[in-house]
Amino acid sequence: MRKHPLLKGSLSVLCAGALVASTCVPAMALGTMNSYAPPTEPTTVDQKLITVGTKNTGISADLLGLTAVTDYSANEALGTLITSNTFGLMGSGLNANANPYFANTFYNAYADTVGLQKVSTSQAAQQPGVRKPDSADTKLVAENGNLSVIMSYRPDILLGCDPNSTAVGKSIKLKNGGAAVGMSKASLATSGYTDQVKTINEMPKTSPYYKAGDESYDPYYVELATFYGDGFYNEKATTGYYSLYTTTDTEYRLAAAAAEILEQDKTRTTRYGDPMKIASKYESYIRGLQLYIMAELNTNKAAKKKVAIVQSGGADTTAKTVKLAKSTESGNVECGDASLNSGNGSNEIGYVTEALENVCENVAGYHKADGAVDGSSWTAVVDASKLADADVIVLKNAADEANVKTLLTESGVQEKDFPQIMSKFMGSGGWGPEAAMSVGNAIGFVYPEYLNPVHALAYYFTNFYHVSADSKTLANALGMNIRTISLPKGVTADITAYDEAAIDKKIQTGLYYYGQNRAAIMDQMPKLTITGNVTIPQTDPNKKPAPALKAQSITGKSTVAKSFATAKSGAYKGKLKTTKSIASLTKTFGLKSKTSKTFAKSTSYVWSKTKKKYVASKTAAGKFSVTKGGKVYIKKGLKKGTYAFKIKVTAAKSSTYKAATKYITLKVKVA
């Protein structure tokens, strides 16, 4: 396992409740790892890191290389943290540059277990007073100077303000000068923080809670995006919930705030480079993979596969029916149902629904007129025979799988004809940006012929969880997560053949498809509109480049022509009898290329004109002339001696060979 760059000692892995000296799984083997390894030494926190205070999971900030100082699962026992993605992926040696506050929290849990001295709470993440992500952390703690846990760290950025309160704080602009992406309201709300900032600004230097610079403390406020669309995606915002699109929105808001901080203070730093580039890559992953499948379906003239997305609650075994998730009148998958996307952390299947809405047909759409229809939402209650129309059945709860299979069997569907059942998937949990994992997971499950879901997840882990890319570390990280998810037939958890560049190419293929069909896509699928932060390829990533041309050479030796007697008369004009034509020179010098084509006068080579730069000897200048026909003439009255001049021979460029040039020296002896 690659060691955390900031840790001095080695790491150990906690497997099955025991500390051991090696990892739980060999390289590339997945499915057996059951915990993350806690750091066994504390980490020194770089005070130049840009920090973010957030009341829910800190992954949203850490994806971008910003450093969350608080997390709702902090201060838990080691047994809890070793299975936590936040601390396992962002605060352990699996990470290429772990969050030092999370690493110290993880270490403290380890230290408490083995009896070592803990790190100061100011150097470790703490659990804030409020867990809900869209309201301010207003639970004041006397031990912090009458401040909340979050504010005790003086973070540079505050994420997750109450969206219904009055705007206070700094404006956030993107580097291109545009407004912060997708703002659902015109404000940056700061309810609950305004008074705490004032308390900090007025903190006397004699106070034990005073920190240098408190009098000018002025954090950025970043509202959590909860309304998709809102004009930016060319849609009217009619409902607020957490979706793939709003998580992208939130990442851009964080990146924009970080960009201003970095611009104002060149000494500040992030952990993984430019946050805006990472946010752009995050958007590219979500949009690009969907668009890639659309491009493949279009190229192969293939129909979209049908999915049946089973609502929470599964099958009604008494009525022998299943309630399917929302669809549009046209039958496309659509999210937005409150039961799919809620702010209470129960929107797992909503993310999967969003991931599939542009690349699949929804069985609920075909049967919306059958049985009970839930208002105008086109949520259909269907029997198992109609459920069998699906290529894939998506379940929120794995426990529903047995009921669904029972209904299919009782309807006379043979097991060999069952749709594939996706009962567990990645990308679940609340409002967090890790929902983007569901794109690669869900799309890859439905279309494994185009996208391996395990490889799509491996790409996500290395690019957004910043898991070290070496095969053993990546296998460990995936092993902790993929072991419980559904995989389509024929796909295994093995990542031996994983190639990050291949996934990148698929994403770029999708973006190129978007660029070629932008108007139609924006008109029919406005939520797929891509922001100006993503570069759209101008050339097809799958177009094979022209083969590299081979070098070609020209063969031919310098030669000495026959001697000629000097004319006694000035009117004498001598002639080289061996060079009556170009063809005869070709034979004399053997002028051929690697293609074995004899040079022809019209296309293959040319004689140089009688210019001084082509003459090898100054004494030969002006003494000879060469015609276009290839004949060489001696100037009358030429003195005795040996004269040399050059002939330029060229071989033209072809589909295989580069152009070539050679100068051949011709010597003439005058007696």
Note the pLDDT tens digit of each residue in 68-109. 999 888 888 999 999 888 899 999 999 999 999 999 999 999
Helices (H), 483-635: 500-516, 518-524, 582-589
CA 253: distance to chain centroid?
18
Distance CA 380, CA 373 (A): 5
Q: What is the pLDDT of residue 368?
A: 59
Name the more confident of 556 and 288: 288
103-131 residues labelled b (16+ CB within 10 A) or e (exposed):
bbbbbbbbbeeeeeebbebebbbbebebe
- Determine if residue 16 is left, alpha or beta; phi over 0 gives left, psi from -120 to 50 gives alpha, anything else beta: left
Closest residue by Cα to residue 202 from 214, 194, 190, 218: 214
Report residue 280 as tokens: 């752009």
What is the C-alpha separation between 403 and 350, in angstroms, rounded?
Answer: 21
Q: Give the list of residues 6+ apart from residue 299 with CB closer than 8 angstroms, or none.
A: none
pLDDT of res. 591 = 39
E strands, 13-149, where? 13-15, 18-20, 51-54, 67-68
pLDDT given at position 252: 86
Residue with tokens 């993350």: 36
**Residue labelled with tokens 């809890």:** 80
Q: Give, in order, the Cα–Cα distances in Å from 340 to each of 171, 241, 291, 310, 404.
A: 33, 10, 23, 10, 19
CB 165 within 8 A of CB 228: no
Cα distances (angstroms) measured from residue 508 to each of 460, 513, 572: 15, 8, 74
| Mean pLDDT (whole number) for 378-398 | 82
pLDDT of residue 503: 97
pLDDT confidence band for 665 (50 / 70 / 90) = low
Q: Which residue has the tokens 């269907």?
A: 382
DSSP letter (8 states) at residue 93: T
Long-range contacts of 566-572 (CB under 8 A, 24+ apart): 566/637, 566/638, 566/639, 566/640, 566/670, 566/671, 567/636, 567/637, 567/638, 569/636, 570/636, 570/637, 571/636, 572/636, 572/637
**pLDDT given at position 411:** 83
The larger pLDDT score, comparing residue 492 to residue 372, is at 492
Q: What is the pLDDT of residue 596?
A: 33
CA 467 – CA 477 distance, rounded (Å): 7
Residue type, 417: D
3-state secondary structure of 226: coil
pLDDT of residue 526: 73
pLDDT > 80? residue 509:
yes
Q: 3-state class of 197 per DSSP?
A: helix
* Section 301-317 average pLDDT: 81
Tell me the β-bridge partners of 559.
666
Query: What is the pTM for the complete model shown?
Result: 0.77
Convert the pLDDT of each residue in 614-631 to its tens digit: 333 444 556 665 554 445
Query: Higher-confidence residue: 429 or 472?
Result: 472
- Cα(248)–Cα(225) distance, integer angstroms: 9
DSSP per residue over 449-461, as a string? TT--HHHHHHHHH
The string of pLDDT tens digits covering residues 144-175 is 899 999 999 999 998 876 544 444 345 554 43
Mean pLDDT, the chain, rounded, equals 73
pLDDT one-digit tens code per residue, 510-553: 999 999 999 999 888 777 888 888 999 999 999 888 888 887 76
Please report, rounded to a whole number, the percentage of residues in the chain having pLDDT higher than 90: 33
Residue 392 has pLDDT above 90, yes or no: yes
357 pLDDT band, cuts 50/70/90, is confident
What Å distances lie between residue 524 and 336, 517, 590, CA to CA? 17, 11, 66
pLDDT mean over 629-644: 64
- 177 conformational bin, left if phi > 0, alpha if psi -120 to 50, beta if neither: left
Over 70: is that where the pLDDT of 474 sits? yes
Pairwise CA distance, residues 631 & 647, whole Å: 12
Upper half-sphere CA count for residue 237 (Cβ side, 13 Å): 19
Average pLDDT estimate for 474-486? 86
Q: What is the DSSP string of 326-346?
A: PB-TTSBB----TTTS-TTS-
| pLDDT-based confidence at residue 554 (cuts at 50, 70, 90) | low
Contact indicator for 359, 290 with CB cutoff of 8 Å: yes
Q: Pick from 512, 587, 573, 507: which is nearest to 543 by CA?
A: 512
